[in-house]
Amino acid sequence: MASAEEVAKEAERRDIRDRWLLSAPALIIIFLAATGPLLIVVIYSFLTPGPYGGVVWKFSTDGWLSVLMQRDIFDDTLAFADAHLSIFWRSISLSFYTTVLTLFFGFPTAYFIATRPPKTREVWVFLVTIPFWTNLLIRTFAMQQVIRNEGLVNTALMALGIIKQPLQIMNTDAAILLGMIYIYLPLMVLPIYASMEKLDFRLVEAGYDLYAGRWQVLRRIIFPLIKPGVIAGSILVFIPSLGAYVIPRVLGGGKNMMLGNLIELQFGAGRNWPLGAAISITLMVLVMIALLFYVRNASGSEGAHG
């Protein structure tokens, strides 16, 4: 006869097995859906481009080579692909500025909302989420109407006689930056607001009581306590910025491409699927590096105290 202990162990084993079996369908779907397409992308990046798009099943590292280098068509020598490098640089720097500027505008906004009475707070949060109701493309085109040469800003400035020639904002990096700040700002405000709302404002009072001025209270008490929200917001803004496609396409014109546009180009007019796949993976690696950096940063400062 089995002892009570064995019966309990057996029951526990069965319990664990049942759980695995029950969650297996979901796990399999998630696994296949997540890794399957990714695997195809990785494989395609090592193949040869087909003449009318698609791929020829012949191993080649040319796709990867072309991410950063270009082969001279006359003497076959390799040189850095300046065009690609500038696109990488534009993507990273514009995403960085977007993150910094959304933080700059988002932090005070979140603070403002969090310090309203609870009922009014809901209204403000609701207002912040309203842009999400409209399609990204429409909002981007709306932005275009504001900044284009015959747009709202230029017409108004010229009517007031402040400028004679319209300001060329469209089709510049500034236009992309403006668009990204506008589109991604709510993604910065909401997580910061979420941690600010949980902030115990008695700690702020305690700070004031202990001779900390407004700036010191912000830097020494509020900021460290809402840091998780700031990090979450930065991730939510930086990562989609890095892969942005619609905004640079509509506001940056054909010339000011970002990584998303470069990838699209390879799968479309460029007819170089392996290169497109390779750039996609490069973008993914960049995102992972950024994430690692954030995670490190977040846990590192925690450790400094303990």
Partner 1 sequence: MPEQPGRSAIDVRGVRKVFGTGESQVAALDTVSVSIRENEFFTLLGPSGCGKTTLLRLIAGFDFPSAGEILLHGQDIASLPPFKRPVNTVFQSYALFPHMTVAENIGFGLEMLGKPKAEIKARVAEMLKLVKMEALSGRRTSQISGGQQQRVALARALAPQPKVLLLDEPLSALDYKLRKEMQIELKRLQHETGITFIFVTHDQEEALTMSDRIAVMSSGKILQVGTPWDIYDKPAERFVADFIGESNFLTAAIADIGNGKARATLKSGATIEATVAEGFQPKDNATVVVRPEHAKLTSGKGDLSGTVENIVYFGTDTHIHVRLDSSEAFTVRQQNTRSAGCGFERGDKVGISIGNDAAQVLRD
Q: What distance in Å separates the CA atoms of residue 41 and residue 55, rounded to the nearest whole number?
A: 11
DSSP E strands in the chain: the ranges are 48-49, 55-56, 69-71, 78-80
The contact mask relative to partner 1 for 223-262 (x = CB under 8 A, - = no) is -xx-------------------------------------
Nearer to partner 1, 204 or 257 (CB): 204
How many helices (H) and strands (E) would you count in the chain?
13, 4
Nearer to partner 1, 164 or 305 (CB): 305
124 is a site residue for partner 1 (CB under 8 A): no
25 is a site residue for partner 1 (CB under 8 A): no
Cα separation values, 249 from 72, 81, 170, 256, 299, Å: 28, 21, 11, 8, 37
Nearer to partner 1, 17 or 219 (CB): 219
95 burial via Cβ count (<10 Å: 0-12, 13-18, 19+): buried
Residue choice 41, 136, 212, 287 for contact with partner 1 (CB under 8 A): 212
Nearer to partner 1, 15 or 205 (CB): 205
How many residues touch partner 1 under the rule CB under 8 A: the total is: 19
200 is a site residue for partner 1 (CB under 8 A): yes
Query: Which of 237, 229, 221, 239 has its CA nearest to residue 283?
Result: 239
Q: 253-274: b or e for each residue (b if 16 or more CB lie within 10 Å)?
A: eeebbbbbbbbebbbeeebbbb
Residue choice 119, 164, 202, 255 for contact with partner 1 (CB under 8 A): 202
215 is a site residue for partner 1 (CB under 8 A): no
211 is a site residue for partner 1 (CB under 8 A): yes
SS3 of the chain: helix, strand, coil, percent, to 5: 75, 5, 20
Nearer to partner 1, 179 or 207 (CB): 207
16 is a site residue for partner 1 (CB under 8 A): no
Residue 231 tokens read as 């990090």
Nearer to partner 1, 203 or 295 (CB): 203
Residue choice 29, 56, 203, 291 for contact with partner 1 (CB under 8 A): 203
Tell me which stretch binds partner 1 (CB under 8 A): 36-44, 84-92, 214-222, 244-252.
214-222
221 is a site residue for partner 1 (CB under 8 A): yes
Q: 133-163: b or e for each residue (b if 16 or more CB lie within 10 Å)?
A: eeeeeebbeebbeebbeebebbeeebeeeee
Applying CB under 8 A, the residues found at the interface with partner 1 are: 200, 202-203, 205-213, 216, 220-221, 224-225, 305-306
